[in-house]
Amino acid sequence: MIIRNVNELKNTDRSVSDAQWTSVRMLLADDQMGFSFHITYIQAGSEHTFHYKNHFESVWCVSGKGSIEDLETGEVHEIKPGVMYALDKHDKHTVRCEEELVLACCFNPPVTGKEVHREDGSYAAPDEAA
């Protein structure tokens, strides 16, 4: 049994930050659960475009306010507490944040923690060099 507290991991190497977001990796590939689980904080006023070509991701909003735009269809959906979006088609998307978002995120395949976002907004597949 693994026990971890997001508040205790915020200042450790399990917390990864980029421009205007921080992601605390609660579970990674080496935990061998078959998925990874992250608590991600997105700063108010920021905008992020991602395209996880090699991963399925679900994101459930714990708190905050924003929106997600499906860049394929142009549809915009509100993000607020209780709302989940799931990128079942590896959907390229833009997240816009009005009030700091706290998000519970699952990735399959699990993120190793060593990925970087590439220019196209994706992470490398597990068997591919980053």
Give the binding site for its own copies (CB under 8 A): 1-7, 26-27, 31-35, 37, 39, 56, 58, 60, 62, 68, 70, 75, 77, 82-89, 91, 93, 104, 106, 108-109
| Whole-angstrom distance, CA of residue 62 vs CA of residue 111 | 21
CA atoms within 13 A on the CB side of 15: 12
**Least Å from the CB of residue 84 to its own copies:** 5
By CB atoms closer than 10 A (0-12, 13-18, 19+), residue 58 is: middle
**Token pair 């507290």 is at which residue?**
5
Q: Tell the smallest beta-carbon distance from residue 82 to its own copies (Å).
A: 4
Q: How far is the CB of 123 from its own copies (least distance, A)?
A: 15
